Structure 1
Amino acid sequence: MHPKLAPSIKSVSAILAIATIIASALVAYDANGNPFGTVRVAALRDYGGTTFADIRNLELWRLITAQLVHVKQGHMLYNAVCLLLVGSLVEKKIGPARVLVIWLFAGGLATYVSPIGVEAPWNVGTGASQAVFALATTALVLIFYREVERMRGGVLVAFALIPGLALDFMTAGYPKPGHAVALCLGGLLGLLFHHRARSRDGAPTIGKA
């Protein structure tokens, strides 16, 4: 990969991706002795997954830990790659602090609502998919305003969104609640950050089309 395109190991996106891999693999190993094994979604509540009751009890730390644990580790690796690639793309334009805000706020809130309509004990919000969706729609905003190169940005956004949306429509017929909320919040935060930067600088930052 070209040095200028390679994400830095010091970036927030890289740190989040690595933390996701390590945490999810450790949970899988503790749960069934295989770091790449499947973990029952109900069991993930004991490892930081979140339910509505947990947040009502002010266990807000779960909005962070829930995003690190996964049922299937193959899905986790895909999410980690998306976090790294899409997150790094966004991070270069809006900075690491704002990427962390998107991950914490949009990813956390979307993970919290993701079990809507799911019966106990399977009503546990988990996974990095929601943060990936939020970062992808933030990237779409940046692409729209030509702050990100359209071809490269479009390919990465499609890579992050199409498999998850396709699975949603095949299994439920519509985007699942967590994904839908993440899409909306990511877009709203992208608009907010873009317009704040334009107001501060007096003009939009225009990248290559």
Structure 2
Amino acid sequence: MFIRQESFYSFRKNYPIIFGLLVIHLALFVWMNFLPGGSLVRNLGIGYNLAVANGEWWRLITPIFMHLTIGHVVFNSFSLVIFGPALEQMLGKFRFIIFYLGTGVIANIATYYLGGLSYPPHLGASGAIFGLFGMFVYLVLFRKDLIDQANSQLVMTILIIGLVMTFVNSNINVLAHLFGLLGGAALAPLFLTGVKPYHMYQHVHDTSEPTFNPNRWQKKRRNQKLFKNVFWIVLALLVLYGIFNR
């Protein structure tokens, strides 16, 4: 469910919404930091409660796509690549993007009402990504038919690390993380109607890849082991970055 072995072509075909979100993340990051007009884009789109109170409602949506630092955009994009594809495949493109944006907006609304008008400006996809975690928590607790034990353990481990980072790092929007998580769990039963387990869906494969390999299963096991090692190493580095870059 979380092991990515697709080529660039097959990933783009299998998960067009995830791919599109990654492109938007990168494009806005480059624009905001390196291209003319970047500061204007940042000032008009960043989450700012006082501006929302003055009628700039779009600031409940636009921060979901915006990131200011390289660590921020890399961490959120990495999380989206790992945890988004299975849900996009299971929910379908339309339901997935509605769920993703919905949880992000819920996180920003909570920030607006609970943070108050003096709450500092905020941006990032973290609220929506925690919404994905919220759906996975619902799967682990109430829809065990859709997720196996190994993936359940992985999800809960990552979630615990994410919550620890939420309260350790002083630059984190705690309200967005918590209410993104709660919003995802609350919306999950509405969006999971008629959903099948991830392994039951067909996936587009790169036609340039060989259709048969007598050593494919041995190779697959090696790749999975290698991926898991790389995954935990990268995750540990990102956690350390989040803890010490306060």
What's the counterpart of residue 185 of structure 2? 187
| Equivalent residue in structure 2 for 1:19, among 18, 21, 24 | 24
Per-residue CA deviation, residues 155-196 of structure 1 (Å, 9 max, x unaligned), is 35644x344322222247xx81111110110001112222x3
**What secondary structure does 2:146 align onto?**
coil
Q: Which amino acid aligns with 1:148?
A: I
Cα distance in structure 2, aligned partners of 1:49 and 1:157: 30
What do the CA deviations read for 1:90-145 (whole angstroms, capped 9, x no partner)?
1111112122112221112313433754885x611310111110011112323441
- 1:59 and 2:63 are equivalent in the alignment: no
| Whole-angstrom distance in 2 between the partners of 1:23 and 1:141 | 32
**Residue in structure 1 matched with residue 101 of structure 2 by the alignment:** 104
Aligned residue number for residue 201 of structure 1: none
Q: Give the alignment partner of residue 2 of structure 1, picking from 2, 5, 17.
A: 5
C-alpha contact 2:86 2:198 (8 A) present in aligned 1: no
Query: In the aligned structure 1, how far is the partner of 2:152 from the partner of 2:16?
Result: 18
In 2, are the aligned partners of 1:90 and 1:99 still within 8 Å (CA)? yes
Identity of aligned residues (%): 22
Between the two structures, name the one with larger relative contact order (CA 8 Å, sep ≥ 6).
2
Amino acid at match of 1:84: V
Amino acid in the other structure paired with 1:103: Y
> Superposed, which structure 2 residues align to 1:1-209 within 5 Å?
1-3=4-6, 7-9=11-13, 11-30=16-35, 46-114=43-111, 116-117=114-115, 120=118, 123-144=120-141, 145=143, 146-152=145-151, 154-155=153-154, 158-159=157-158, 161-171=159-169, 176-194=174-192, 196-197=193-194, 205=196
- Report the CA distance between 1:54 and its aligned residue: 2.6
AA partner of residue 182 (structure 2): C
CA distance in 2, matches of 1:7, 1:162: 28
Amino acid at match of 2:83: V
After TM superposition, give the deviation of residue 30 of structure 1 in Å.
Answer: 4.2
* TM superposition shift of 1:152: 3.5
CA distance, structure 1, for counterparts of residue 160 and residue 27 of structure 2 = 25
Contact preservation (8 Å) 1:107, 1:128: yes
Structure 1 SS opposite 2:55: coil
CA distance in 1, matches of 2:60, 2:46: 8
SS state at 2:73 partner: helix
Structure 1: gaps (5+ residues): 34-38, 198-203
Structure 1, residues 65-97: CA drift from partner, whole Å, max 9, x if none? 211222322121110121222111111111121
Higher helix share: 2
CA distance in 2, matches of 1:171, 1:27: 23
Post-superposition offset of 1:207: 6.6
In the alignment, structure 2 segments of 5+ residues that lack a partner are 200-246
SS at match of 1:66: helix
Using the size of structure 1 for normalisation, the TM-score is 0.73
User: How many positions carry a matched residue from both structures?
Assistant: 189
Q: Quick one: which amino acid aligns to residue 69 of structure 1?
A: M
In the other structure, the counterpart of 2:239 is none
Question: What is the alpha-carbon root mean square deviation over aligned residues?
Answer: 3.4
8 A Cα contact 2:103 2:184, kept in partner: yes
TM-score of the two chains, using structure 2 as the length reference:
0.63
SS across alignment from 1:21: helix
